[in-house]
Structures are given as structure tokens and as C-alpha cells.
Amino acid sequence: MTTRGPLADALVLDLSRALAGPHAAMMLGDLGARVIKVESPDRGDDSRSWGPPFVGDDSTDATYYLSCNRNKESVQLDLKSTSGQESLRELIRRADVLIENFRPGVLDRLGFPSPVLEELNPRLVVLSISGFGHDGPDSQRPGYDLIAQGESGLMSLTGPDPDHPTRVGVPIGDLLAGIYGAFGVVSALHDRTRTGRGSVVRTSLLAALVGAHAFHGTAWTAAGKVGSGSGNHHPQIAPYGTFRCADGIVQVAVGSEGQWHKFAALLGLDADDERFATNSLRLANRSELIAAVEDVLLTRPREFWLTSCNEAGVPAGAVRTIDEVYEWKQTRSQGLVLEVDHPAVGKIELPGPPLRFENFEGQRLGRTEHTAPPTLGQHTSAVAEWLEGR
């Protein structure tokens, strides 16, 4: 298998489970790293059982598990046993990166605090992901995405109005913590080229979600304004949201005054109407603006408006279902759908990596083949033989 890529010479130990840590490890695997996933002997990663749906009729692996474990090898180790701990020590000695998302202190109690990790491998980069941070008064709380979305304020910014806080439809806290974590790992690996030493990278679901507050964060810290849910319409830009048309919904994102004039002309509205002449006025009169826009959009079907907006230079789009996204030619053209050979069920398709690498001539670089998420313990014997030099 071709594994060229920025991290083709790196070995990653994935001791994590569920989503945040496994997502970070998968990102590193997508970049070419060899990723060995260490799982408990009894049931393995918790997400293997988070179904239905499961892959295949006889498989016990949920599709949830498939979402964050491609390009990995699975070994079963009992980290509470002497033999399991010795195997882990040998893996640590050879590794470049170790990823864990135990509750703070658990890895220490297993016999692998930071000083031991450093003694085993001074060049080791450790990524440690927690729910609420590794210190502070709430550090020992278990971290689950739903809870973190509420505690971080994200749910208060999502939903139709302030009275209906809403969870984001994907586990965004886990995903962002994994992305931030992978970013921290590659930064630490780069730093290691200068210092010759590893380091510990820490992040949390709380940190990842607070880091994603964007303009809502600065609205409070710099201007004292508390944001709230505003549904599908942007709280600071108008018109920018979803609008009804003759056969459904169309999205329009007017991000500048120039685009507003183009959009108004397309709809036959007066761009200089005293209610709508500036973004501030359009926000102050948003209900009237939405009504005026929809009165026109309701006269034609979605495809007409998407084509017209595109021709006029006004950003617009459809609201696709998940199945439509994966059948969309644009999605597939970007390598966002992969076919892999699953050891239990054969050929399956998976969402693909979001990064592509090319040389300056436009030729694609990096991993050209991908492997399916492993079955539990699929590589235990092979990795044991590798450690023993056989």
C-alpha cells in the first residue's frame, strides 16, 4: 500500500476511544502515519457498539465506529495486566505520537504518567484530550459532546430563538477537539525537529467549542453583547439565510453591499429602500426584509433561483440531504468518498479525508490507497511479531 505523505515516517499509538481522540488519530493516518489502535480485550472501542446501523448483517461494528477509524491497525491489550503494560511500553519506545482521552489521572494510575512516558521515549509527542480541561475545578467531569455543547454556550447560539437552545446535528465538540488536537500534534512534531524532544499537547471539548465561538465570542468580550439562537438567519448579516421558494427552500448569503444591490435587482426590489439601504437597517427590519424577499422567491422554483443567483454573482445554494451529498458529482470529484475493502463485509464506501496535497504541477501527493476501519484485534498477532522482530 502506498502511504506517501507528510507523516509517512510517523508511528501513532491511538489509546483513545469514542470520537475526539480517534478522529485526531484518523487525521494523522490520512496524512500517511502508521496508526496502531490499542483496544481493550473485551469489547474494544465503545463506538463499535453505538448502533444500529451496523456494517453488514453479521458485523458487530457500528457505522459510528467506521466514521473515525479508517487507516488504522487494531491490537487488543489489557493495560491493567503486566503483559499488556509491557507491550505498551515497547510500543511507546518506538512511537512518535501517543493519543489518549482518558479522564485526567487515569493514564497515571495505569503506570504511565508524563515522567514515565518521557523516560521511555524523550521524543514522544503526547496528545491528551479531556472533557473540560486537565486542571481547574471541573477537570474531573466526564466529557460528552452533548454536555459540552451546552456548557460551552454553543447550544445557546444554535436553534430558532433564545427559548429553544439546540444541539448541533453532529458531535461538533468531539470533532473540533480532534482537529485541534491533530493540529497540535503536527506543530509539536515540527518543534521536535528543532529541539529533539517531545512534548504534551492538551485540549478539551470545552476548549474546542469556546475556540469556535468566532464573532459571538468577541461580541461579548469586546462589546458586552450576549448572542442567542437566530435560526437559519445570520445574526449580523442580512439577507443571509434560508428562504421559501415555489417548491421548497433556497439559501442566499448576501455578504456585501455590492451583492445586496445585485440581489435586489434580481428580485425587482429597491436596494435603496429606506428600510434596507444598509446592513444595519436590514438587520433592524429583518422580518420585513424576509417577507419582501420571499414574496418574490415564492413565484419561481428553487433551480430557477439558484441559476439566476449564480449568474448574477449572488451566493446561493440548496439544502441537500445526506444521501444527495454523497451522490453529488462535486463531492465525489473532491475525493470525499472512498471505496475500501472491509475484512468482514467486503467493499464499502466511506467519507474521505478533507485534505488534498498536490505538487505545483497539480499532481496529487500523499496516500493513494486507504484501509477500512479494522475489526477488533485484527492486527494483534502481526504487531506482536513486529515488536519481537520476527
Residues annotated as catalytic (active site), given as ranges? 174
Among positive and negative, which fits the CA dihedral 36, 40, 45, 51?
positive
φ/ψ of 189, rounded to 5, equals -65, -40
Rounded Cα distance, 189 and 35, in Å: 15
Rounded Cα distance, 104 and 157, in Å: 29
φ/ψ of 291, rounded to 5, equals -65, -45
Rounded Cα distance, 149 and 224, in Å: 22
317: nearest Cα among 243, 389, 379, 385: 243
For residue 58, CA distances in Å to 27, 344, 345 come to 28, 8, 9
CB neighbourhood size of 369 (10 A):
11
DSSP one-letter code for 170: S
Rounded Cα distance, 163 and 165, in Å: 6
Find out whether 143 and 118 touch, Cβ atoms under 8 Å: no
238: which residues sit within 8 A by CB, 6+ positions away?
254, 279, 282, 283, 286, 289
249: which residues sit within 8 A by CB, 6+ positions away?
242, 243, 302, 319
Rounded Cα distance, 91 and 85, in Å: 10
